[in-house]
Amino acid sequence: MKLVLLGYMGCGKSAISNALANSLNLKRIDLDDYIETKEGKTIADIFKENGEIYFRKLETTCLLELLDNEEAFILSLGGGTPCFGKNMEIINQKSISVYLSANIPTLVSRLLPEKAKRPLIARIADEELAEFIGKHLFERRHFYLQAKIAVSVDDKPVQTIANEIVSAL
Ligand code: S3P
């Protein structure tokens, strides 16, 4: 089985993919980690030194590489991965996609302490983060909603969310 977790930054893709990997006995892959290893640089440095367009091309190349060359896995994407080019279409052709839906207060509380390692929000003032996320999510939701399965993650323990996903498969 190829399972792909997607959703906005801070929705819990990594933590939930860990729990799912245990429940389903599948290998876990994180697309951001894969990109960082391949490039030998952090995501923040790739954005800083090469720019976002370079990052998006690299992200799509790595996504295709994993979807085509790996047999079975749980893959957690970056928040923007499904929102560029034909990525969402390809994800749905080659895997079972799961959208982890989080509301704005949940995202703000998780992202505030972690802004620095995320180039798209690193320079947004704390008091403007909720408004930024609201607008950004509005642009991206259309892509996220194309996932085959959608699960709400607000105020739920990670294992409960993982169990809900397993039941929906
Ligand atoms: C991004 C999300 C990040 C990372 C990059 C861009 C985005 O991943 O891929 O900073 O466009 O939303 P996480 O969702 O794991 O933070």
How large is the ipTM? 0.98
User: pLDDT tens digits for the chain (169 residues)?
Assistant: 999 999 999 999 999 999 999 999 999 999 999 999 999 999 999 999 999 999 999 999 999 999 999 889 999 999 999 999 999 999 999 999 999 999 999 999 999 999 988 999 999 999 999 999 999 999 999 999 999 999 999 999 999 999 999 999 9
Number of domains in the chain: 1
Task: Provide the 3-class DSSP secondary structure of residue 71.
Answer: coil
Question: By the 8 A CB rule, do 110 and 82 touch?
Answer: no
Distance CA 120, CA 8 (A): 12
Distance CA 18, CA 7 (A): 16
Distance CA 154, CA 168 (A): 18
Q: What are phi and psi of 7, to 5 degrees?
A: 155, 170
Query: Ligand 1 centroid vs 82 CA: distance in angstroms?
Result: 11
Domain CATH number, residue 118:
3.40.50.300
Task: Please name the helix (run of DSSP H) or strand (run of DSSP E) that holds residue 150, with its range, or none.
Answer: strand 149-152
For ligand 1, residues with CB inside 6 Å are 9, 13, 32, 43, 78-80, 118-120
The annotation status of 83 as a binding-site residue, yes or no, is: no
Q: What is the CA radius of gyration of the chain?
A: 15
- Domain that residue 102 falls in: 2-168
Q: What are phi and psi of 6, to 5 degrees?
A: -140, 160
The annotation status of 56 as a binding-site residue, yes or no, is: yes
State the closest ligand 1 atom to the C-alpha of 30, by its place in the atom list counted from 1. Answer: 15
The pTM score is 0.96
